[in-house]
Structure 1
């Protein structure tokens, strides 16, 4: 999948219009789901080795805890009460 990170940004010098950029961005969840489904179907998986300090067990648990807190806040809150920290 094409990366958003590139020298000069996503659209500079690439000939990518704003319309094309929006289509590419909005299609990311669909292509991600397709990729996941094909990996399941073929019993293959794209994996990488942990290369960052953020991959420690403690950090993974903290991230999961933070995600659960965010999910609870968003689920229970009225839309006008949502305040991003």
Structure 2
């Protein structure tokens, strides 16, 4: 990828040239094949993790518990009462 950027000047601010855009789009299949070949060669695979860790059952329970604690603290320590303790 770096060599592609160096040879056709695909760096910041150079996207105004249609030839460069065309070259970039044609290189997608080459870089994809390179990526697949390297994964096969190294016997490693690119994977992603779950994207929404906030929605796990344990996280929802913890958030609910934290919310209750905050609500209790706000209700008992109101700055508008004579005795905020």
Is the shorter-chain TM-score for this pair beyond 0.5, marking a shared fold? no
User: Relative to total residues, which structure has the larger helix share, 1 or 2?
Assistant: 2
Larger radius of gyration: 2
**TM bracket, shorter-chain basis:** 0.3 to 0.5
State the structure with bigger RCO (CA 8 A, min sep 6), 1 or 2.
Answer: 2
Question: TM-score, normalising length from structure 2?
Answer: 0.42
